[in-house]
Amino acid sequence: MVFSGSIVVYGRGEYVVTQTSMNTEMGKIADLLENAESKQTPLQIKLDEFSKKLGVGIVILAAFIFLIDILRGAKLIDSFMFAVAIAVAAIPEALSSIVTIVLAVGTNVMAKKQSIVRKLPAVETLGSTSVICTDKTGTLTQNKMTVVDTYVYNPERALAYNTSLEVAAAKALSKQDELIIMCSSLCNDSDITSEGVEIGDPTEIALINYANKKGFDYKQIRNENIRISELPFDSERKRMSTVHKLDEDVVMFTKGAPDVIFSRCKYALVGDEVVKVNDKILNRYKRMNEEFSNKALRVLAFASKSVKDEGFIPTPNDEEDLTLIGLTAMIDPPRKEVYPAVKNAKKSGIKTVMITGDHKTTAKAIAKDIGLFTSGDMALTGHELDALTDEELDKDLEKISVFARVSPENKIRIVKAWQRKGKVCAMTGDGVNDAPALKQADIGIGMGSGTEVAKDASDMILVDDNFATIVNAIEVGRTVYTNIKKSIAYLFSGNLGGIIAILFAVIAGLPNPFTTIQLLFINLVTDSLPAIALGLEEPEKGVMDNPPRDKDEKILTKDTIGFVLTRGYIIGAVTIMAQLIGLRYSHELGVAMAFSTLTLSRIMQTFASRSNTQSILELGFTSNKYVLGAVCICLTMFMSTQLPFMREIFNIPYSFNFNILLICFGLAVLSTCSMEISEFLKRK
């Protein structure tokens, strides 16, 4: 079959159209893409739920305070305005802006680490990723074939070789090995330009690179042994032959699939001698070919044949009675950075699954090498996957680490299976056929070298096509989410402190501790810059040592609520103390001291909110310049309320002098120290 979208490289033919439009293979992919579901991120879902509950709670609180104020004999309009001010003060209006800014900063950090975010919420989704479904070629591997070993028959040489690049590079060369290098350089159409640009088939490029690594100049070999004629590679013949003038001799070199070459060899090179092939020699070669193949290596066999004269033009019938020279084994090796990346992902509780169109044996061998496939794991082909019901797939899903020879439908089915288990699934892809699965996944990751269709369907693009970049991006995502929670905890702690002070005053029959304009000022000054600065914190120690968070985890977890309540009670307590001290002198001074203490406490709280695992002293006051800058700006804005022409606006009497200000500042510092001590005791 010839599918729409295919490119005809050479040849002639007549095509019978069997399907059109949406019934073509390309149409089926378009249909899958159309029906794949776009999903809200865990953060979007939780923020929506949280906002609704918060709104209802604050309306009830404002109504309660409004009724209490009316019952105490306050004017209707004053009570209403104060209730509205409380609602405004309690609602963190800056929350959505803060989340957007923190996510935007995360995208900037990720861009510097070779990952471009196309959809802002994807930053946070990465942080909750629990499964990465990744392609093999180019993502886990270098996408560059490399010769890692050779084999030539020698009765005195051990059969098995270590196929590492280092060992292959160090192995001493025999005359047979040198002849393989000559044969692989001559029977080869690839080239490397003076600018270092590689031209040709990746397998053939690997052969000339191998020659260069061994100290042979493939261009010099070609110049000294001119090609006379050739029989190009053919997928049916599975071999290629070229004829060359070597000194006084004319030789035909042939390379191709081992089984094909073996069947056409009548002789074999053993040392410097050409001997007749026997079962012992042939079986040794077949065993070596099998060993290489079991290690997922691509094997080529090389042979030669002396021919008549310089005018010889080979035909397929001439590729008989060859002399077997040896084998080369090559592989698309894993990226070096993939080994620690897979290890870090596993340590972080992230399951890595290889989904590839390659052979099952090759995929499994690579997966074992990089630590992705371990004892007890399973590997399935797309055909084997099709034979499973959804129930059977769900049962074994967590054991399956490799899917080979998969179709676009298989990829979507794998993603949906993980999603049924409640996992946040990331999916990589570069082709048109990957687009539906990229859209279906919780986060689709396109490749920088991939098609535009795949990029358009993805949430994030890997500039360097590197798996390690995904793991780095997950660290950024986790940090972003942690910082968002810090900002949320900071906002609600401060708001709770103010509400506690108001409720205490209402219940105790004291004057309202704040005026409407004061509440709005506190909300404006302390709910913005400090919260944004907290969103720019560096990653916490051990951020990748913990498993992914549950996608159903609430924004305000038990620990976060604990921090909010503790800090809120402390801020509320010092604010009440300030009001009580001020009320000993006058109603106005009580209000001014409560306002000043709450404002300063919320500003100073920024330092205590920077980390839940380290103290201010461990972090250092200057390690986050944004926090330091935000605190300085907020303090400057607060001090502006002490100016003569501002005092009247903010109801600050002239009896509020420098000594009173020091008391308020001392109470704010006391609140911050109390928070630090409380968190230290919790950690202990």
Q: Which residues are catalytic?
A: 135
Q: How many Cα neighbours within 13 Å face the side chain of 409?
A: 9
Q: What CA–CA distance (Å, rounded) separates 75 from 60?
A: 20
Q: Which long-range CB contacts under 8 A does 314-320 form with residues at least 24 apart?
A: 314/229, 314/230, 314/231, 314/241, 314/243, 314/252, 315/231, 316/231, 316/237, 318/231, 318/241, 318/252, 319/231, 319/237, 319/239, 319/241, 319/254, 319/264, 320/264, 320/266
d(CA 549, CA 349): 10
Contact between residue 541 and residue 475 where contact means Cβ atoms under 8 Å apart: no
Q: Give the CA angle between residues 455, 412, 457 to the nearest 5°.
A: 15
As a whole number of angstroms, the distance between CA 609 and CA 617 comes to: 13
Cα 128 to Cα 423: distance, rounded to the nearest angstrom: 9
- Quote the CA–CA distance of 358 and 404 in Å, as a whole number: 6
Q: How many CB atoms lie within 10 A of CB 222?
A: 17
Alpha-carbon distance of 63 to 87, in angstroms, equals: 9
Q: For residue 340, which of 194, 498, 468 has the smallest C-alpha distance? A: 468
Residue 357 Cα distances to 143, 430, 487, angstroms: 14, 12, 44
Q: Specify whether the CB–CB gap between 417 and 133 falls below 8 A.
A: no
